[in-house]
Amino acid sequence: MEFELTGQDADTRARSGRLRLRSGEVETPAFMPVGSRASVRGLTPGRLRECGVQMVLANAYHLALRPGAEVVAQLGGLHAFMGWDGPLLTDSGGYQVFSLAGHRVITEEGVQFRSPVDGREVFLGPRRCMEVQNLLGADVAMVLDHCSPYPCDREPAEAAAERTLRWSAACKEAHGRDDQALFGIVQGSTFDDLREASARRTVELGFDGYAIGGVSVGEEEHLRRRVVALTAPMLPADRPRYLMGVGFPPDVIAAIGDGVDLFDCVAPTRMGRNATAFTPGGRVRLRNSGLRADRRPVQDGCDCPCCRLYSRGYLNHLFRVGEMLGPILLSVHNLAFYARMMTQARRAIRQGRFGQFRDGFIARYDSGKEQ
């Protein structure tokens, strides 16, 4: 992995860069759509490319359950398995420690899950986590972390951050591929001193890149933005910085201003499947009965296939009658919107006007948050 900065905004911490990985280059800041089970729902790899997607995220936990990391390896690795030849990142399963709290037991050795698929017991510790991700063969692997819930008292938040550090060290020792980057993860909930200690000690362990985890788990917007603003500048300037699971447009743009390079979130595709489109003027709900005879595209000036060919009225019809084309088209539009948003952010950074761009973007978006 190589990472170089290509631009730095004068008035904010925003920076543009170029991340070179085994499977290609990524211009940063960049957004990764989520394909947990080796598929971004409803979209082919070719369609993802048409939307401007550079890099995709998959989930090691889900792929270890089905079809199994060994099966994926036998079929040529994750890239060949899903037909995506661009950069891939695999999340470790640390988020499932949070999201499947009722189906797991945490020990010092790792996490014992009860599979939501068939009820069998599944163990995921640092060594197995690395074994799975080595077999999958993504360009970037993530350490196994313990993601605290919110709200969270200080004592359990500190215990989770300390456990993440121990697991991170074990993951680094067990990681077995020289052609795969390994990213560390900072935890600490909403406690500033825990975040500072976690960031410092994670950097001391030494990773190819660094992620801010444990946010977007129910905390208020001002807390999330405070944690990101505090943590991002503490991570090495010469390594990519990744904000995990944060993906609504104003949050992404604000975090870019704090120096974040990579993002992932289910928001654009999940919201698309639920009849909601992102536009510069906020979200548009396509099930709204007032749109039945609306001739306009979802977004004026958008050149995605959805906006070029179809009206709001047609999309309203698709969702009302339950046709699968509706979720596909809105997912296409939303991913194209995100790709364009990141392109505009990179351009503003290189031109030294990101602060102006950020303030204007957020003001316009918030002014029409729900259309």
Does 251 participate in catalysis according to the annotation? no
- DSSP type of residue 34: B
What type of residue sits at position 370?
E
What type of residue sits at position 31?
F
Contact 31, 148 (CB under 8 A): no
Q: Which residues, other chains included, contact 103 with Cβ-Cβ below 8 Å and sequence gap of 6+?
A: 113, 114, 115, 116
* Residue-wise burial string across 272-290, b where 16 or more C-beta atoms lie within 10 A, e elsewhere: bbebbbbbbebbbbbeeee
**Cα separation, 297 vs 300, whole angstroms:** 6
What are φ and ψ of residue 296, in 5° steps? -70, 155
Does 366 participate in catalysis according to the annotation? no
Strands 209-212 and 181-186 come out as parallel
3-class DSSP state of 243: strand
Determine which one of 9, 91, 139, 251 is catalytic. Answer: 91
Find how far residue 172's CA is from the centre of its chain: 22
Find, among 209, 207, 208, 185, the residue nearest to 198 by Cα. 185
Find, among 201, 211, 202, 286, the residue nearest to 246 by Cα. 211
3-class DSSP state of 219: coil
Strand ranges inside the chain, DSSP E: 2-8, 15-21, 24-28, 30-33, 56-59, 88-91, 104-106, 111-114, 121-124, 140-142, 181-186, 209-212, 241-243, 262-265, 276-279, 282-285
Contact 78, 138 (CB under 8 A): yes
What's the start-to-end Cα distance of the chain, in Å? Answer: 42
Determine which one of 193, 238, 264, 359 is catalytic. Answer: 264
Find, among 170, 171, 142, the residue nearest to 59 by Cα. 142
Q: Catalytic residue numbers?
A: 91, 264
